[in-house]
Amino acid sequence: MTEKLNIAVVGAGYWGPNLARNFRTSADWNLATICDLDIDRAQHVADQIGGAPVTSSLDEVLADPAVDAIAIATPARTHHPIVLAALEAGKHVMVEKPLADQRHRGEDMVALAAERGLVLMADHTYCYTPAVLKIRELVAAGELGDILFVDSVRINLGLIQPDVDVFWDLAPHDLSIIDFVLPGGLDTASVSAHGADPLRTGKACVGYLAMPLVGGAMAHIHVNWLSPTKIRQMVIGGTKRTLVWDDLNPQQRISVYDRGVDIASVTKSASAVARDANISYRLGDTWSPALPEREALGNVAAEFAAAIREDRPARTDGAAGLRVLSVLDAAQRSLAAGGAPAPLTLDIQPARSAA
């Protein structure tokens, strides 16, 4: 049997308990400690999951040679100093989304991980759900054809965050999914963002983000803290089929539609009038693949361990986190410019090649 790796969870607030529970039950990990400035909160989490050592000292955790890795579940503004300190201490690191609160800080983290030969993994949890793994598989197999558009909606009522706007709070989920499932990932040269603050909170509470993708496709993301209904839906349209993912429908999370515009009938040589006359529509079958119901964080924990043992980048490595950060940074600049497209460069490579 492969010996278990030792991990410390840093942060026992909203997300930390979920991480602690999954590492506590993982076949790959031993939960060495839960670290939080509020020791009572850390102890409460430990008690909930059947027991684990707790501490309020990050320095103590980083100085422990038995700890192989840390998982960070603290506010985004704290990620940069904690990650750098952990990497300097020789620890592998997994950090919840977003990777950092600014792109240049994310760049520091990715560069140091590469320099030290350590795994830096972004906890893009949705990328490890059975539904998103199936979407990636279908896209890679060419079931949808060439991708024409991605339209994503992530809206609900609250929770309005005190330190970030709705783009930084909700859009990282959708951006990480797009980066994960499309062959070209987040391959865009510009981002346009429009936001509104009807509650006068000082930050966008409703947002729309649009970006052209490689090959002429378009991605559009709608995020909203003010909607009385909760929607988690993504539509990916291709030249062959269109896929609809409804994350709130456990009976049919994914539907694949063999219906839409018959692209093959539209010839580039035809005149505009003739081309319009030749457009036809497919009305084919709809099918839904069966998906296993299992918690994504179990897959996250397993992937983190596998990346360390195999000396390779994780499937959602620091570079993936940095691509998401780059789009968020461009969106912020676009907002400041009244929605004008903001350029960006995504020449980010994985930190290390797989062994």
DSSP annotation string for 133-177: HHHHHHHHTTSS-SEEEEEEEEEEE-PPPSSS-HHHHHHHHHHHH
In a domain, 60, yes or no: yes
Residues 199 and 254 in one domain: yes
Residues 136 and 96 in one domain: no
Give the pLDDT score at 351: 39
How many CB atoms within 10 Å of residue 48? 13
CA–CA separation, 311 vs 239, rounded Å? 38
In a domain, 348, yes or no: no
Give the pLDDT score at 19: 98
CA–CA separation, 73 vs 64, rounded Å? 19
Give the pLDDT score at 107: 95
Contacts of 347 (CB under 8 A, 6+ apart): none
Give the pLDDT score at 353: 35
CA–CA separation, 181 vs 190, rounded Å? 20
Q: Which of 171, 181, 167, 185 is nearest to 128 (CA)?
A: 181
In a domain, 269, yes or no: yes
CA–CA separation, 83 vs 269, rounded Å? 55
Give the pLDDT score at 346: 73
Residues 182 and 235 in one domain: yes
DSSP label at residue 216: G
SS3 state of residue 178: helix
Task: Give helix 39-48 / helix 16-25 axis angle, nearest 10°.
Answer: 40
Q: Which of 246, 353, 252, 258 is nearest to 310 (CA)?
A: 353
Amino acid at 327: V
Residues 100 and 183 in one domain: no
Give the pLDDT score at 265: 57
Give the pLDDT score at 262: 73
Residues 131 and 259 in one domain: yes
Give the pLDDT score at 332: 96
Give the pLDDT score at 259: 79
Give the pLDDT score at 277: 52
Query: How many domains are contained in the chain?
Result: 2
Residues 178 and 111 in one domain: no
Residues 11 and 118 in one domain: yes
Residues 277 and 194 in one domain: yes
Give the pLDDT score at 272: 57
Residues 240 and 280 in one domain: yes
Amino acid at 106: G
Q: Which domain holds residue 63?
A: 5-124+296-316
DSSP annotation string for 328-349: HHHHHHHHHTTT--EE----PP
In a domain, 37, yes or no: yes
Q: Which domain CATH number covers 32?
A: 3.40.50.720
Whole-prediction pTM? 0.90
CA–CA separation, 40 vs 35, rounded Å? 11
Residues 147 and 171 in one domain: yes
Residues 99 and 223 in one domain: no
In a domain, 207, yes or no: yes
- Residue 216 tokens read as 């002429």
CA–CA separation, 171 vs 291, rounded Å? 25
Q: How do the pLDDT tens digits run along the chain, 355 residues long? A: 479 999 999 999 999 999 999 999 999 999 999 999 999 999 999 999 999 999 999 999 999 999 999 999 999 999 999 999 999 999 999 999 999 999 999 999 999 999 999 999 999 999 999 999 999 999 999 999 999 999 999 999 988 888 889 999 999 999 999 999 999 889 999 999 999 999 999 999 999 999 999 888 999 999 999 999 999 999 999 999 999 999 999 889 999 999 777 766 554 445 555 555 567 777 788 999 999 888 899 999 999 999 999 999 999 999 999 999 999 999 999 999 999 999 997 765 543 333 3
**8 Å CB contact between 218 and 194:** no
Residues 119 and 176 in one domain: no
Q: Which domain CATH number covers 259?
A: 3.30.360.10
